[in-house]
């Protein structure tokens, strides 16, 4: 559809540019010759701008498809696919599990906490494996168990995450290590477990849940923001290695940047977030629709200009951060125990 729009715009622009000046604008409008010519020039620039946007969209889609011209969806049969979702017992993770099973996908949840009532589990499509994702040995044991029960997964959604609402000087080493272990290092453990089989089959999808905090570090959330920014580098490196080291551009990689979402992770500050809060079900639907579309890419689910913030003048960056400095406050010792 984007290509068709681009061709139509290009044709209109060429026609307008090569038409005689007397036909440069609609003759039915009650405009003088000078104003008609001005309108024609404005239309040219508008059409040119639209064409640039369409070309940019096409290039983005091509890049996200690993520079391949085709995207074969026929290899995905959703009632025969198997997904692993970390942190799938509550919040966004639970909503993702429900969305996947609605398409017939079998799901294994890896979480340290039992499945909550939010997970719609009739026992046929959802299985649970209690796992401390900060432990390499625990991840390996859980992976071996679920492979024995169901085979190797074709979809890995690294969603598990925790947060501290604490200033840098107040955060204990134990809490810091736990957060970094779960929010960032666990991605290495799960990918090391499940990616080799995807590479062997030249089919798979690895999705990571980052955060808008990966673009903006806030007072009281430095540890959380640092891990979410780290996931950006992890995602980019994984994508590059799949293309250039393992020669598997067919394997999809996606990274998701949710905005403030109504989960237990931010329960202590939800009142001051007000209308900014998104529902887990809405975030999960976008994530799973992306998987069902068999696409790679980045899903920015907040202000679309946020990824560009680092390229703006320093004074503007600081004003944005200053405006958000009051949001992240709370009890770090309780918040860290709550997975997203």
Separation CA 180–CA 161 (nearest Å)? 9
Transcribe 164-227 into DSSP letters.
----GGG--HHHHHHHHIIIIIHHHHHHHHHHHHHHHHT--EEEEE--GGGT---TT-HHHHHH
Count of CB atoms situated within 10 Å of the CB of 220? 23
SS3 of residue 14 by DSSP: helix
Which of 189, 224, 257, 338 is an active site residue? 224
The catalytic residue among 106, 228, 278, 338 is: 228
Which 3 state secondary structure label does DSSP give 106? strand
Collect all residues with Cβ–Cβ distance below 8 Å to 3 and sequence separation of at least 6: 58
Rounded to whole angstroms, what are the CA distances from 74 to 200, 249, 299? 18, 16, 23
Here the tokens at position 75 are: 């290899």
259 tagged catalytic? no
203 in active site:
no
Q: Which residues are catalytic?
A: 224, 228
């Amino acid at each position: 559809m984007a290509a068709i729009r681009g061709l139509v715009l290009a044709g209109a622009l060429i026609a307008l540019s090569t038409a005689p000046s007397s036909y440069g604008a609609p003759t039915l409008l009650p405009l003088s010759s000078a104003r008609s010519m001005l309108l024609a020039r404005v239309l040219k620039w508008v059409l040119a701008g639209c064409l640039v946007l369409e070309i940019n969209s096409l290039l983005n889609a091509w890049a996200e498809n690993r520079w391949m011209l085709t995207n074969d969806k026929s290899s995905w049969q959703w009632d025969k696919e198997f997904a692993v979702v970390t942190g799938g017992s509550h919040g966004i993770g639970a909503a993702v599990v429900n969305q996947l099973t609605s398409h017939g996908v079998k799901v294994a949840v890896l979480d340290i906490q039992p499945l909550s009532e939010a997970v719609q589990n009739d026992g046929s499509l959802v299985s649970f494996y209690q796992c401390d994702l900060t432990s390499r040995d625990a991840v390996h044991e859980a992976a071996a168990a679920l492979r024995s029960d169901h085979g190797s997964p074709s979809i890995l959604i690294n969603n598990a995450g925790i947060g501290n609402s604490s200033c840098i000087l107040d955060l204990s080493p134990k809490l810091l290590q736990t957060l970094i272990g779960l929010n960032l290092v666990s991605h290495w453990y799960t990918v090391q477990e499940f990616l080799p089989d995807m590479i062997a089959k030249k089919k798979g999808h690895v999705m990571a849940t980052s955060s808008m905090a990966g673009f903006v570090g806030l007072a009281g959330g430095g540890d959380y923001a640092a891990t979410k920014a780290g996931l950006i580098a992890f995602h980019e490196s994984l994508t590059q290695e799949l293309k250039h080291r393992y020669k598997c551009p067919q394997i999809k990689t996606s990274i998701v940047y949710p905005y403030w979402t109504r989960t237990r992770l931010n329960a202590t500050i939800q009142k001051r977030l007000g209308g900014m809060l998104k529902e887990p079900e809405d975030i999960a639907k976008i994530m799973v629709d992306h998987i069902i579309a068999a696409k790679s890419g980045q899903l920015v689910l907040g202000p679309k200009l946020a990824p560009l913030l680092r390229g703006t003048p320093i004074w503007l960056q600081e004003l944005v951060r200053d405006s958000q400095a009051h949001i992240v406050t709370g009890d770090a010792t309780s918040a860290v125990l709550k997975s997203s």
